[in-house]
A and B are shown apart, each in its own frame.
Chain A
Amino acid sequence: DAGITQSPRHKVTETGTPVTLRCHQTENHRYMYWYRQDPGHGLRLIHYSYGVKDTDKGEVSDGYSVSRSKTEDFLLTLESATSSQTSVYFCAISPGGGNTEAFFGQGTRLTVV
């Protein structure tokens, strides 16, 4: 299995508090992605990174920020959590696009109460 770890795996937080999710990889892959998945939906892209300090928004980026200060870590921050951000969050890594595999972490289940 690809070396990708998400932490924490489960978290319950209160509305209005900041939350940071971490994605850590040991594969030295250039590309990293954050997705969220809600009941009845496929995965939707929040943010992605194409290198250290290089990030961009995905289709559902409002309310989220990211940082990548080193190759192995990609952090997703909810500045002020809302109940609509209750979801399962998945991180993915890939050496490139096209003809390369992307590997997913096991997910972080976040509940905002």
Chain B
Amino acid sequence: DAKTTQPPSMDCAEGRAANLPCNHSTISGNEYVYWYRQIHSQGPQYIIHGLKNNETNEMASLIITEDRKSSTLILPHATLRDTAVYYCIVRGWAGGTSYGKLTFGQGTILTVHP
């Protein structure tokens, strides 16, 4: 699976948009970009995923560049409860040797300030 690069930490003011970048320059054509977050020591929580089109759900938006080598997770109105570690993951199909495994990096520690 392709590796990802994220900044180790970011800050955001409450109520403002949080934009978390991720580089995945070696992503292949059938691999998806996933975002998870982990609050304290809870189990990782799914946020959003996409292939090449921008995606939006009730939690966030995912913007993937046209060449698919990078993406940005956007939390439109960050709250204190959004303070967490955010992981950007490239995930392949379950077939072949990937088996849908999620390979976690170090993630980005997002701190939302009052």
Contact = CB atoms under 8 A, between A and B. Distances in A.
Interface of A: 30-31, 33, 35, 37, 41-45, 48, 50, 56, 58, 88, 90, 92, 94, 96-107, 109
A56 B96 CA distance: 13
Chain B: interface residue count, which band?
20 to 34
A106 B39 CA distance: 11
Interface in B26-70: 30-32, 41-46, 49, 51
A42 B107 contact: yes
User: Chain B: interface secondary structure?
Assistant: loop
Contacts, number: 75
6 nearest A-B pairs in the assembled complex, by CB-CB distance: A97-B100, A97-B94, A104-B43, A42-B104, A98-B93, A96-B94
Contacts of A56: 99
Given A31-B94, A42-B104, A42-B107, A97 B43 contact: no
A42 B92 contact: no
Nearest to A37: B41
Q: Is the interface of A mostly helix, strand, loop or mixed?
A: strand
B104 A92 contact: no
A90 B42 CA distance: 9
Contact of B105 (A33, A42, A45, A106): A42
Given A31-B100, A50-B99, A104-B43, A98 B87 contact: no
